[in-house]
Structure formats: C-alpha cells, structure tokens
C-alpha cells in the first residue's frame, strides 16, 4: 500500500501573506510625460524621437508608465484539508482559498516580522526586474537613434542620386530641343 506524507499537519497555524497587486500610473521617467525624447548625436545634431519607455508594443507613447504595486498583509492562517493536484499538494485556508504546499515551504516564516521581511524581499526583486525592463527600453531607444540615423543617410544618398539623375535628364532634354 502506498503511503503519502503531507508536509504540514491539518490544523497547523502558519504565517502566510498573499500578494495583492494594484496598478499605478506614473509619469514616464524618460520623457517626463512629454511623449518625446531628444537625442543629441555626437555631431551635435538633435533629434526628437517618440519615447520608447512609455510606448507599449507598437502603440504611440502615452506619457505614463504602468507600475504594479505589491502589497501583502501577513496573516496567521490555519491549514485545512489537503488536496492533491498532479504532484502538488494544496491546503484549504481558514479564510477561504487554497495555498500550494511548496509555497508554504518557500514562504513559511516563524513570525509576522519574518513574513514582512519576505514581502519586502519580493518587492525589491520585482522593482529590480522593473529597472532591468526600463534599461532594455532605453537600449531600444539607442537602437531607434541608430536606425533613424541610417535612414537619414540612406535618404540623403537617394536624394543625391535623384538630383544627379535629374541633372542628366535635364541635360538630355536641352540637347533634344
């Protein structure tokens, strides 16, 4: 007969904090809400470019960035009946809802203070992830400057070719008239 050991006893009291996510909109840190940024090239040429930081996908810049704000209130909960889904064991909570036993192993503090510290750590990790995303968008902006600079060079080159072709065409026209 198979024997399954559950990690926590039914009725155990543990500290648990469920993260609540709220959305906040803040002025864009790069364009300060103007929706454009000025890029000054090494030659002194300044270009007005659409802000990449407050653009979502292919949408136009909005002037604001969306930020998720995590709040978590530690609570002392009583674990109810365990249920197994696949390889995971879930416990019912006395206030409603379920929690995965592996989450209790990761976030099972002995006190409210330890629970708050774990929430702070998770919040710092999330903010670090946001900083990395912002740096990525700034790299996109650098790519955008390079892209538009090459477009300007190509257009100038095409304009020169078109002007030369126009001079040749006008010269041929004058010879035939």
Alpha-carbon distance 164 to 128, whole Å? 54
In a domain, 45, yes or no: yes
In a domain, 88, yes or no: no
Alpha-carbon distance 151 to 158, whole Å? 10
Residue predicted with more confidence, 148 or 141: 148
Count of structural domains, the chain: 1
User: What is the rounded average pLDDT of the residues 159-174?
Assistant: 88
Q: What pTM does this model have?
A: 0.46
User: What is the rounded average pLDDT of the residues 39-45?
Assistant: 80
- Under 8 Å between Cβ of 136 and 52: no
What integer best gives the mean pLDDT of the chain? 80
Q: Return the structure tokens found at 163.
A: 């002007």
Residue predicted with more confidence, 149 or 80: 80
pLDDT at 34 over 90: yes
In a domain, 52, yes or no: yes
Tell me what percent of the residues of the chain surpass a pLDDT of 90.
5
Q: What does the pLDDT read at residue 129?
A: 82
In a domain, 138, yes or no: yes
**Which of these ranges, 121-125, 134-138, 165-169, has the smallest mean pLDDT?**
134-138
In a domain, 91, yes or no: no
Q: What does the pLDDT read at residue 35?
A: 92
In a domain, 99, yes or no: no
Alpha-carbon distance 80 to 91, whole Å? 6
In a domain, 161, yes or no: yes
User: What is the rounded average pLDDT of the residues 13-29?
Assistant: 81
Domain that holds residue 24: 18-72+109-176
């Amino acid at each position: 007969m198979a024997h399954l050991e559950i990690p926590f006893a039914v009725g155990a009291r543990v500290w648990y904090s469920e993260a609540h996510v709220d959305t906040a909109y803040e002025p864009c840190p790069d364009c300060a809400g103007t929706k454009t940024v000025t890029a000054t090239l090494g030659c002194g040429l300044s270009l007005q470019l659409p802000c990449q930081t407050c653009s979502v996908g292919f949408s136009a810049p909005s002037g604001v960035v969306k930020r998720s704000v995590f709040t978590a209130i530690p609570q002392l909960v009583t674990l109810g009946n365990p249920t197994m889904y696949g390889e995971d064991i879930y416990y019912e909570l006395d206030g409603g809802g379920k929690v995965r036993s592996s989450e209790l192993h990761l976030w099972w503090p002995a006190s409210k203070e330890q629970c708050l510290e774990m929430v702070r750590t998770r919040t710092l990790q999330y903010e670090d992830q946001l900083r990395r995303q912002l740096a990525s968008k700034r790299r996109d902006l650098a790519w955008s400057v390079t892209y538009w600079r090459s477009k300007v060079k190509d257009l100038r080159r095409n304009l020169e070719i078109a002007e030369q072709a126009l001079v040749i065409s006008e010269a041929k026209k004058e010879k035939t008239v």
